[in-house]
Amino acid sequence: MLSHVNIGANDLPRMIEFYDAVLGCLGIGRSHRDDDSVYAGWRAAVGGPVLYVGRPFDGAAATAGNGGMVAFLAPDQRAVDAAYRMALERGGSPEGPPGPRPHYKPGYYGAYFRDPEGNKLHVVHMEA
């Protein structure tokens, strides 16, 4: 359903370091970076959707959206915990610690945090 998601960045090198570390905990690696250091992208699987982090095309400052959030699937609960810890170590801020969220659905385990520029992120593992 999704081709890609864009997240704006003002300090691209810091954001690349943050996303390399956090997404690395989920087994997601950087798929590319342009030669002009305008954006970077991460993809979990060939042909799958891409997360792009970069400077806004209009040249204005990047801002975090109110109500917007990007959620990433984790292979297990340990990966959720690791991604949350890594996010906080790399300049992210907490929005909800890792733990079960049975009010969403049985077997749902997730964590919420913001990246260094205020974008809200969620990491989730759902038991089968």
Residue 63 lies in a domain: no
Q: With cut-offs at 50, 70 and 90, classify the pLDDT of residue 103.
A: very high
Number of domains in the chain: 1
Residue 17 lies in a domain: yes
Whole-number pLDDT of residue 33: 82
Residue 78 lies in a domain: yes
Determine the structural domain holding residue 24 and report its residue range.
Answer: 4-55+69-126
Residue 42 lies in a domain: yes
Residues with Cβ within 8 Å of 36's Cβ and at least 6 positions away in sequence, in order, are none
Query: Can you give the CATH number for the domain in which 119 is found?
Result: 3.10.180.10
Residue 83 lies in a domain: yes
Token match 């659905």: residue? 105
Rounded to two decimals, the pTM is: 0.93
In tens, the pLDDT along 44-55 reads 988 889 999 999
Residue 79 lies in a domain: yes
d(CA 18, CA 9): 11
Residue 115 lies in a domain: yes
In tens, the pLDDT along 6-30 reads 999 999 999 999 999 999 999 999 9
d(CA 47, CA 62): 27
Assess whether pLDDT exceeds 90 at residue 91: yes
Give the residue among 22, 18, 58 at the shortest CA–CA distance from 38: 58
Residue 61 lies in a domain: no
